[in-house]
Amino acid sequence: MTDELTLSVGGRQLSGWSTVRVTRGIEHCPSDFEISLTERYPGEADAFVVQPGDACTVLLGPDLVLTGAIDRVHYALAPYQHTVTVIGRSKCADLVDCSAEWPGMQIAGSDALGIAQKLAQPYAITVSAPGSKGEIVQLFNLMHGETAFEIIERVCRYGALLAYDQPDGSLILSQAAQVVAASGFTEGVNVQSASMATSMDQRYSVYLCFQQSLEVMNDVGEGGNLQAMATDEGVPRHRSRDIISESPTGGRDFAQKRATWEANRRIGRSQQLNLVTDSWRDQAGVLWTPNTLVPLSLPTLKCGDEDNKLVWLVTQVTYRRDADGTTAALTIMRPEAFLPIPILQLPTFNDIPANPGIGDPWGNEVRR
């Protein structure tokens, strides 16, 4: 299969680019590209004239990888050389760049999918959630100056979701995937270069999560000072970290989940594999894709071997072609690094039942 990059603009299919870079990732929204052409003979670049703001699509071989618009065009002139460089991003760039538009700046009674769809509607961007749509947000205040994507990321935390763009320019709300690629990476087979960064400075041996109630009118008993603990046996010396839970409700069980999440996420983030391979595709001919699990056998880097392969998550892919050839650079991490933070919403008055004999939310007698 010939993996030629094709830029489609205004009905024209432009290929033959000298250098190519396309980057996609679950923490890299929007996806972006930078491509350039150097004239081999006078007038060759004339057909590649495009304008900033032009809608475009980018294909690698037959596969669509980006739908968006051109941000910038650079023209360079030197003796015996004329270069055109085109830079662009996916449609979700408007969500990242632009301020949120929402009448009244207050959200009530909607889930993460519904909120994201309303925020994306002014920019003609579709939003999907193949699995969970997220919990219902009872009351959510927007702040002037926030971008649409900042708000979407915030509400996604309530539903334990990740938000990133798709090749068709849409936004997807998803959890870390369980899909395994047809092949992985094996030292001496399909790995040109690789580096493993491991760290201990952001890990702790003990995590103590404190849950502090916001109740000021009633006696909450033990609920006002709950504590839970999680440990990381991989830390060789005593290092303690105190955490104040973002949610003042949920009890000891929730505080325990919050402490365990902190430990697992820091373990996951303490190891990052950066790898370069000589193909944009796996053995089945599928492009390496973010949010896909891949088996790893890199014994020199202490990252799995043939008898005990590790299965980690592809978090970012950069497809590249230049004078050094065709490569794909991948960032790969442990799946635990992308477990969304557990959060409970504060109850609103509509959530508090009226219990005869107990009274209103402040403990006053209810007269009937």
pLDDT in tens, 60-114: 999 999 999 999 999 888 877 788 999 999 999 999 999 998 888 888 778 889 8
Identify the CATH number of the domain defined by range 185-199+271-338.
2.30.300.10
CATH superfamily label, 5-90: Baseplate protein-like domain - beta roll fold (2.30.300.10)
On whether the 206-269 domain is CATH 3.30.1920, my answer is yes
Is the pLDDT confidence value at 7 over 80?
Answer: yes
Tokens of 246: 């973002």
- The DSSP 8-state label assigned to residue 345 in this structure reads P
Which comes out higher in pLDDT, residue 52 or 265? 52
Give the chain's end-to-end CA distance (angstroms, integer).
77
Rg over alpha carbons for the chain, rounded to the nearest Å, is: 25
| pLDDT at residue 368 in the model | 38
Return the half-sphere exposure (C-beta side, CA atoms, 13 A cut-off) of residue 187. Answer: 14
- Length of the chain in terms of residues written: 368
Residues with Cβ < 8 Å from 234, sequence gap 6 or more?
Answer: 203, 267
Tokens for 255? Answer: 């505080």
| Closest alpha carbon to 292 in 267, 309, 315, 319 | 315
77, 39 in Cβ contact below 8 A?
no
The total of other beta-carbon atoms located within 10 Å of residue 357's CB is 6
pLDDT confidence of 250, banded at 50, 70, 90?
low
Question: In the 8-state DSSP scheme, what is residue 122?
Answer: G
pLDDT at residue 45, as a whole number = 63
Q: Each residue of 264-319: pLDDT tens digit? A: 889 988 999 999 999 999 999 999 999 999 999 999 999 988 888 999 999 999 99
pTM here is: 0.83
Helices (H), the chain: 93-97, 112-120, 148-158, 251-269
Mean pLDDT confidence for 175-201: 92
Q: Is residue 194 over pLDDT 50?
A: yes
Top-confidence range, 31-45, 193-207, 238-252, 346-360: 193-207
Distance separating alpha carbons of residues 189 and 187, to the nearest angstrom: 6
Average pLDDT value for residue range 159-163: 83
Contact 38, 100 (CB under 8 A): no
Q: Is the pLDDT of residue 367 over 60?
A: no
Above pLDDT 90, what percent of the chain? Answer: 57
The alpha carbon torsion through 52, 56, 61, 62 (nearest 10 deg) reads 180
Distance (Å, whole) CA 240 – CA 244: 13
Query: What is the average pLDDT across 233-237?
Result: 94
User: 356: pLDDT confidence band, cut at 50, 70 and 90?
Assistant: very low
Lowest-confidence range among 46-55, 277-286, 329-338?
A: 46-55
Among 103-117, 227-241, 339-353, whose mean pLDDT is lowest?
339-353
Q: Do the domains 5-90 and 185-199+271-338 sit in the same CATH topology, yes or no?
A: yes
Identify whether the C-beta of residue 84 lies closer than 8 Å to the C-beta of residue 74. yes
How far CA 168 is from CA of 4, 56, 306, 322, in Å, comes to: 19, 11, 37, 25
CATH number, span 94-174: 3.55.50.10
Question: What residue type is 60 in one-letter code?
Answer: L
Q: Domain extents for the chain?
A: 5-90, 94-174, 185-199+271-338, 206-269
**What residues pair up with 311 in beta bridges, in sequence order?**
295
DSSP 215-231: --SS--GGGGSEEEEEE
